[in-house]
Amino acid sequence: MPNPFQLLETRYHRELAVQYADYWAYRRNPQFDAFDELGGDCTNFVSQAIYYANGVMNFTPDYGWYYLDINQRAPAWTGVVFLWQFLTTNLGPGPYGHAVPLDQVQPGDIIQMALQSEEYGHSVIVTSLLDSPPAPDTILVAAHDTNTNCRPVSTYDYQKIRAVHIDGVRYLGRMTDQPLSTEADAEEMPPVG
């Protein structure tokens, strides 16, 4: 029997990721468990914003990117290193991207930092750029753990820093399915909260 599904691609609605990050930067969405007492909520928050942008998870056991509840989630949903690995290697459903230097980030992209050691341990989402090309003083981010929004990257005391540009989102659909393709389609998505 032929498989009626195919992997389709759509753009990443980065403006929706930013909208989500702006709204939830200083609060917790009750639809998701908070990980503040379990190692930090930063990557959980970033994953929520990315998910809000297109609503596609990847349910591949161990290597996917999904959240059902606190006990049913992929390591990439809440783990800094695992999110990086997922975004930069994903060939299946969900968001995908590639590493970029800071001067190429856009709102909705992800930055990760090594703060107190040489290990990457903090994820933030870019919410706006004050100038072009972007630089640590002009890249503003939102984050959880120390809740923040519109914070310049330069105010972090990081040992190392890296960024991933999200190129798009893939999803499984029938041959007749159409991806979101217009701003009008995106406006039909449910509101934040």
Contact 74, 82 (CB under 8 A): yes
Whether the model pTM is above 0.85:
yes
SS3 36: coil
What's the pLDDT score for residue 9?
A: 95
What's the pLDDT score for residue 47?
A: 98
Residue-wise pLDDT tens digits, 69-93: 999 999 999 999 999 999 999 999 9
Average pLDDT of the chain to the nearest whole number: 90
What's the pLDDT score for residue 184?
A: 44
What's the pLDDT score for residue 4?
A: 66
Contact 123, 193 (CB under 8 A): no
Contact 115, 122 (CB under 8 A): yes
Residues 29/180/62/76 CA torsion (nearest 10 deg):
-50
What's the pLDDT score for residue 185?
A: 43
Q: Which residues of the chain have pLDDT under 50?
A: 176-193
